[in-house]
Amino acid sequence: VYGADDPKAGAVHSALHVLNHPALNHRVDVRAGVLAGRCAEILQEFFRSRR
């Protein structure tokens, strides 16, 4: 479960889809976008404070 995608460098659902790579032995059911708006706000606040 995660809230905010990273279209440029995401490894779960966005750019790489690493959890469902054919070479891996297991499959993962991913729930994306949970509280997406709030998660995006938290990330934006964090990076704004780092600038």
2-51, pLDDT tens digit by residue? 888 887 877 776 666 777 778 878 877 888 888 999 998 999 999 999 98
**pTM summary value:** 0.61
The DSSP element (H or E) to which 41 belongs, if any, is helix 36-50
Q: What is the pLDDT of residue 7?
A: 78
Q: What is the pLDDT of residue 46?
A: 95
Domain ranges of the chain: 1-51
Residue 39 to residue 51: CA distance in whole angstroms: 19
